[in-house]
Amino acid sequence: MAGKKKKSVEAEPVSALPENAHIAGAGEVEQQEITYTLRENYMPYAMSVIMSRAIPEIDGFKPSHRKLLYTMHTMGLLKGKLIKSANIAGQTMKLNPHGDAAIYDTMVRLSRGNEALLHPYVESKGNFGKAYSTDMECAASRYTEAKLAPIAAELFRDIDKDTVDFVDNYDATTKEPTLLPVTFPSILVNNNLGIAVGMASNICSFNLQEVCDTTIALMKDPEHDILSTLKAPDFPGGGQLIYQREVLEKIYETGRGSVRVRAVYNYDKSNNCIDITQIPYSTSIEAIIAKITELAKSGKVREINDVRNETDLHGLKITIDLKRGTDPDKLMNRLFAMTPLEDAFGCNFNVLVGGVPQVMGVRALLDEWIAFRVESVRRRTYFDLSKARERLHLLKALEKILLDIDKAIRIVRETDEEAEVVPNLMIGFGIDQVQAEYVAEIKLRHLNREYILKRLDDVTDLEKTVADLEDTLQSKGRIRRIIISELQEVAKKYGQPRCTGLIYPSDIQTVEKEETVVADYPCTLFFTKDGYFKKITPQSLRMSGEHKLKEGDTITQTVETSNDRELLFFSDRQAVYKSHASDFKDTKASVLGDYVPAKLGMDEGENACYMAVVKEYTGYMVFFFENGKVAKVDMATYATKTNRRKLVGAYSDKSPLVAAYYVPEDGEFLLASSSGRHLLLHTGAIAAKSTRNTIGVQGMTLKGRHILQSVRPYTAGTLAKENRYRTKSLPAAGALLQAEDYGEQLTLL
């Protein structure tokens, strides 16, 4: 049963303790079932992270954000001068016990200087770092200053009018709001990332003007087409969003999906360089520069002389110096495909609603916010109504006193005990205790007709106000019109143009990510029996001495070709691995070279046994097996439209492979069996197959336990009597070597 505890072996007594001493529980080991531990220990922690840390609520804030901003509000930082960030962090610890470092990190992200938000809530002075750079860290809190930004006033409007609930802080010494009565859907206006236990939230930002317009339209028409007013996400870093309506419709409907954003650049013709001034929000300057540098060093991008970070006080800037004759637009299209200059932002609109995490689309989110805001306005209206009724109730007492001021003075003067003043006024004028208390507190100098008449002038206005507020409470339409009016006010006051532009897929030149401009220069490729590979240029080869090889290793293939060729390495496990000559560095004969199985990530114990060098997938692969069969496979079957680097089933596994050859055109091979017979076989006599793992046809007839032992390409004139070893039909047994051919074959085989 879960939670059951069991005792086990007792520990030996500690020598430092008295002989008869006993420690309760010492030496006992408690065993718990994993389900008990998860339920009693792990689940409370997971729920705490989800509910109190990582997931934002409908007001757009996590608890850490809310505690910080509310503290700044109570410190009066909506107005006045900036103060030290350390002071703010210290004050916030009254609500947030997680330490000043965590609080300051929260403030940094909310600040204008960090540039992480479309509408920062904190005005900053000093170095607050940059969201788009991992190297540009913020200064310590003792050096920077901050206050609330003007838009933060919309977060706290009427918070003192019971618009939201307040609860005790962690040590019950003060109160804090559970939500902020935001006057606009801040949940969509500023991006928010949170990683909880078993779930996460990643909400992108949208343009404030568009969000307000969309909310207003939804309040007027629940069937409103959201995409007509909320065009697309808008990121603080700018960039260009690739607009795909079907993708946005999915995100708006489900709250999940991803949008692609690419950098903004311009070409400086005078300096022959590209200046990148805006990058995707989800990446950083350092990540982009590191990737471009890697591509340049590997030779995959050869048009770049230098790349550097020129970000300064004027803003972000990455400069790429180009080689002469480079087309900047074509280069950028390739960099978009191969670097984070184009990146995806994954949306996951996970929000706490009523204490329950829910992934919601834009329409559902705005509906929840509207319901939340309706309740806030209703509570504010009820608060104002209560205050107006209280004031009107007090002024009604003044109306009655106005009829006989002398009587009021006489009652107060003739009452012997102070405690009897209020009861006597209640009896004398027929008013209740609250009214009597109010009358009793009026200063003597105000007990005149002029003062009372001025106060009574407010009665009519108050009666109209009370009636109006009561009508508002009873009318959902009026409350919604108030919200619409506030949204229009916020949009007019704080709205700004979009930061992120929109481009369409039809305007983008597509480039394959693996498309590269490879330098085409002559080279010689060497492949050894043990799987080592070398690429050596002609100049280096002329200056080289003997090849360095492992003991017992020999060079099995030497191919003069060029650097732009594709390489296919066939392994002893019927697989072929694709690579390019340009993927290998130029080397010298005096080094071992690259170990192909390690370079291409082959499985443990798998070895490379043959290298095919191709430019186009024409010709054939010919496989010779121990059982005498020969398979001729069309080379086109190894071409793939995707960028797969490994193909399984490259040849048949029914019999051990003796040799494999790539033949651009049909030719002759000399086959030798373990019985000493030799056969000249022309590959034109074998029909090509389109199935890679075909078992082939019988080429050489073998008797008993004899096997095909070796195969070599045949050069005309090598054998004295060639026709003796040729055959008009297959299969054939071949012939034994004659004396005049035997010497040649000693070196040949």
E strand or H helix that includes residue 526: strand 522-528
**429: enclosing H helix or E strand:** helix 421-429
List, in sequence order, every beta strand (DSSP E) within 91-227.
122-125, 145-148, 166-168, 175-177, 192-195, 200-203
CA gap 273, 304 in Å, rounded: 9
Strand ranges across the sheet with 122-125 = 83-84, 145-148, 122-125
Question: Checking DSSP bridges between strand 575-580 and strand 697-698, what pairing results, if any?
Answer: unpaired
Query: 358 - beta bridge partners?
Result: 351
| Length of the chain (residues) | 749
Q: What is the DSSP string of 380-397?
A: HHHHHHHHHHHHHHHHHH
Pairing of strands 501-503, 240-242: parallel
- DSSP secondary structure, 580-633, as one string: EGGGSPP--TTS--EEHHHHTTPPTT--EEEEEEESSS-SEEEEEETTSEEEEE
Nearest Cα residue to 208 out of 487, 495, 484: 495
User: Can you name the residues that pair with 647 across neighbouring β-strands?
Assistant: 576
Cβ–Cβ under 8 Å, residues 626 and 656: yes
Query: Tell me, what DSSP letter sits at residue 9?
Result: P
- 136 vs 100, 113, 119, 279, 442, CA distance in Å? 20, 12, 21, 16, 63
Are 509 and 333 in contact, with CB atoms under 8 Å apart? yes
**Which residues lie closer than 8 Å to 719 by C-beta, 6 or more apart?**
670, 680, 725, 741, 744, 745
Catalytic member of 36, 42, 45, 143: 143
Interior angle at CA 662, CA 661 and CA 665, nearest 5: 120
Q: CA-to-CA distance for 608 and 737, rounded, in angstroms? A: 32
Q: What is the DSSP letter of 543?
A: H
Residues contacting 362, CB < 8 A, separation 6+: 188, 214, 226, 230, 251, 252, 255, 349
Annotation says 143 is catalytic? yes
Diameter of the chain measured on Cα atoms: 154
Q: What DSSP letter does each residue of 673-691 carry, written as one string?
A: ETTSEEEEEEGGGS--BS-
536 sits in which H/E element = strand 532-536
Q: Which amino acid is at 389?
A: R
Q: Contact at 8 Å (CB) between 658 and 674?
A: no
Cα(467)–Cα(478) distance, rounded to whole angstroms?
A: 13
User: What H or E segment, with its residue span, contains residue 287?
Assistant: helix 285-298
- How close are the terminal C-alpha atoms of the chain, in Å? 75
d(CA 57, CA 59): 6
As a whole number of angstroms, the distance between CA 608 and CA 423 comes to 108
CB proximity list for 399: less than 8 A, separation 6 or greater: 456, 459
What single-letter amino acid sits at 220? K
**SS3 breakdown of the chain: % helix, strand, coil, rounded to 5?**
35, 20, 40
Could you list the active site residues?
A: 143
